[in-house]
Chains A and B, each alone.
Chain A
Amino acid sequence: MGQTVTDAGLCGALQRWREMGEASREVFAALEPGARVGLISQAEMNQAPGARMVVWQAGPEGPTTALAPFAGFADAPADMVFLVPDEALDEVAAAGPDKGLGALEGPVRSGDAMLFYIAPKGDLLDAGYEEFMERLGFGFLGACR
């Protein structure tokens, strides 16, 4: 077994996140080209404004994966962002590349990871996020509890 994501850090494990995006081709197909989904770890976020995050961008050829600077949520370079605590990063990566972004569902559902919407609702709907979230196994509108 190679280096863990925790050892490599969020940004050092770009290849893993690329595989994750690839495995979620069908999910990303719900999004308009240009729509961006971010992933950041707690440790990385604590370094803002000098932090970076992983960004999957939807495109006609499937999602591309890259790192982008993260200076804070006010102008995060994504429409929505998964914030994963460092302890949960390995769990997400260990779910196997074939699980794609579906690996984030468990940690979000249990409350360990969080999902932040950066863009306004209308823009999210226009970009296809309702379908995207449903495909990932989340309700877009949220729960009434």
Chain B
Amino acid sequence: MDERKAGEKKLKHLFEPVKWGRFEIKNRVKYGACCVSNFNTRDGFITPRELARTKVIAETGAGIITNQGAYPDPLGEGKAYFSQVALFDDKFLPQFETIARYIHDNGGMAIQQILHAGRYGGIDLGYCIQPSVVPQTLPHFRPPREITKEQIRETIKQHADAAKRAIKAGFDGTEITSFMGYLLANFCSPFTNKRNDEYGGSVENRGRFMRELISEIKEAQGDDYMLVARLNGAELMDKWGGNSEDECLELMKMAGDAGIDMISVTVGWQEAPESSIGRDVPPGHWNRLAARAKKELPNVPIAFGVRLPDPVMANACIEKGDFDYWEVCRPLLADPQLLHKAAEDRLEETRRCIGSLNCLSRLFRDLPYTCTMNPALGHEVEPEYHITPAAVKKRIMIIGAGPAGMECAMAAKQRGHEVTVFDREDSIGGLLRGYAANDLANRDDMLSVVRHYEVMAKKLGIEVKLGVEVTPKLMRDLLHQFDVAIVAAGARNDENMRPKTADGGVLTDAYEVALGRIKPGKKVVVIGGGRIGLTLAESLTDQGHEAIIVESSKRVGNDVAPTWKWRHTSWIKELKIPVMTSTRVTRVTASSATVVNAEGEEKELAADMVIYAAPQKPNQEVFQALQWMVDEVHMIGDAMAPRGMTSAIHDGYRLGCRI
């Protein structure tokens, strides 16, 4: 009898078991090392916080699990992150043994990554080592020193010793990585390798470090254990003298000839001038690189998954022969249950990774990683972040069906509370719908969040009352029907900051335009260069309107994540949107907006619509009224302080877990 679950039958290529040497790999999914978490001690020891997180990873159901990269040298030249784990001594073994056991207990093959960060390393040292002195293009990283030949020998030996140690801890194999421009990539790439000795110059010479690494690690760990190399299919550094895609392929062939057991194809360097894994890269965009590698190296197993968040697409790629293993990282951060949902044919319940890069960008601030979509990530060790049965069952009303309100509703409902969500709009999603509709990066990513709430509200049986505004009058009618009221009513434009209108002038609310309720004019002035104003101006310009942004502070994008600002600045340039900073709108008429700059110079801008997109004010009014009507009153999300989606989701979930 076929005992496979419904989803396993549907996605039969993805869930097909495969044999490698003495190992039975239960499916074609490899969890890609995606966990340089900054949860560990400054001297390389794994903490309980990390172990709890890794247990969740081990339970994702992936056939191969790659544990996060450990640096192999005692000096820390290879150390990329503030609290990266180390594997240069046996003293680190106990926690690695625990991790290998977690993975085996869940039927996975355990791979330990050895990560020498090269150009991005030496985080505690004040310098980094790389093949040649090529200064940093990102100030976060350390000034470079050239690695000597003796150091090359020593570094290779340290990698081999670390591999041996990983095997001793119970791992089934190891991995070396050139992801995002680490040491292996630095040797392979002519951008950072300008040496004149046998390690530099031709592709053959640049690949020497990799070949020696492969040969010594294989010798150290033995043929019974797998060795994976993560190699760039494209560096996206060719403009700056890096490898072309053809050269990348040549290096992969070299790795194949050197006896590598699997190649994981990655894309891009941290500092590359193009996007590789951001939200502005369409899902599936890089699949062609894996397909090319597979075609040229038919006998080497190829793993791939960069910005490929969809198991259905992955299944189709494996069927087509584009690659052999779906190597997936962020989608499993966002939803550790993704593979189980796929196996049970419940994919519609998935919390999709929306490519926000909150995870990776926090590492640039030396902070632990977190995930926009998964508020529990990194807090697995804390019972307060778990959904556990409520001690007292309560009747909860939530005002606002945006991300904060819906997250809170979902967590509270799963804990056994009775939950009713009210929203004055006629759909779930709040202002996120307006944002999603205008997002130039990837509208469907943001809309997937709204769809998730709609699906889960139905599945969990959360009552959602739409088109109902919660007012003190309504509350008097509802008196004593609820034990808890949660204000998740978001924020709105601050009416006290609005410029004067005259001669029939009207200020149009940004949300009304964003949500498509008011048709935008042809010539538009957008007041406010924050997240909302920028998104709207970009979208309107993209649709053929003429938009000008007027911002009162010195710069635009003050409420945008620091690592996403570049995206707006680039769009503004590409779309040629005029931006007036340090400028205020003082008067709005039916056909113009009068602006004054910091020097006091006045100018009249022709406009058939003036859109008001700033600043934000929390919707807290109802809170005061509720305080004397309901036992417990709470406030979450933008209603507490306007901060955006990540905070809204996290606030909502945390409160839902705790009420």
Contacts and interface: CB of A to CB of B under 8 A. Distances in A.
Interface of A: 72-74, 76, 81, 106, 109-112, 114-121, 124, 129, 134, 137, 139-145
Q: Which of B271, B276, B566 has the most CB of A within 10 A?
A: B566
Given A109-B273, A109-B573, 16 more contacts: A72-B133, A106-B573, A109-B570, A111-B239, A111-B273, A115-B137, A117-B135, A117-B136, A141-B139, A142-B140, A142-B566, A143-B567, A144-B364, A145-B276, A145-B277, A145-B357
B274 interface: yes
A145 B137 CA distance: 14
Closest 7 CB pairs of A and B: A144-B563, A111-B273, A116-B135, A145-B275, A144-B361, A143-B566, A111-B239
Nearest to B365: A141
Nearest to B566: A143
Nearest to B560: A139
Contact of B566 (A106, A111, A139): A139
Interface of B: 126, 133-143, 239-240, 268, 271-278, 357, 360-361, 364-365, 555, 562-567, 569-570, 573
Contacts of A73: 133-135
A106 B140 CA distance: 22
Contacts of A116: 134-137
A144 B564 contact: yes
B138 A142 contact: yes
16 contacts: A73-B133, A109-B273, A116-B134, A117-B138, A121-B140, A137-B569, A141-B364, A142-B137, A142-B138, A142-B271, A142-B364, A143-B564, A144-B364, A145-B272, A145-B278, A145-B357
A111 B564 CA distance: 18
B126 A134 contact: no
A118 B141 CA distance: 10
Contact of A139 (B126, B134, B272, B562): B562
A66 B364 CA distance: 34
B239 A144 contact: no
Nearest to B126: A120
Tell me the interface secondary structure of chain B in the complex: loop
A109 B573 CA distance: 10
B83 to A, nearest CB: 18
A145 B566 CA distance: 10
A22 B275 CA distance: 34
Contact of A121 (B139, B277, B357, B573): B139
Contacts of A145: 268, 272, 274-278, 357
Nearest to B362: A144
A115 to B, nearest CB: 6
Contacts of A144: 278, 357, 360-361, 364, 563-564
Contacts of A72: 133
A111 B239 CA distance: 7
B266 to A, nearest CB: 13
A2 B239 CA distance: 31
A134 B563 contact: no
A8 B365 CA distance: 43
B142 A120 contact: yes
Contacts of A81: 135
A124 B139 contact: yes
Nearest to B237: A111
A15 B126 CA distance: 37
A136 B395 CA distance: 54
Contacts of B143: 117-120
A142 B365 CA distance: 11
Given A109-B570, A145-B275, A114 B140 contact: no
B371 to A, nearest CB: 14
A141 B276 contact: no
Contacts of A129: 139
Nearest to B238: A111
A117 B137 contact: yes
B563 A143 contact: yes
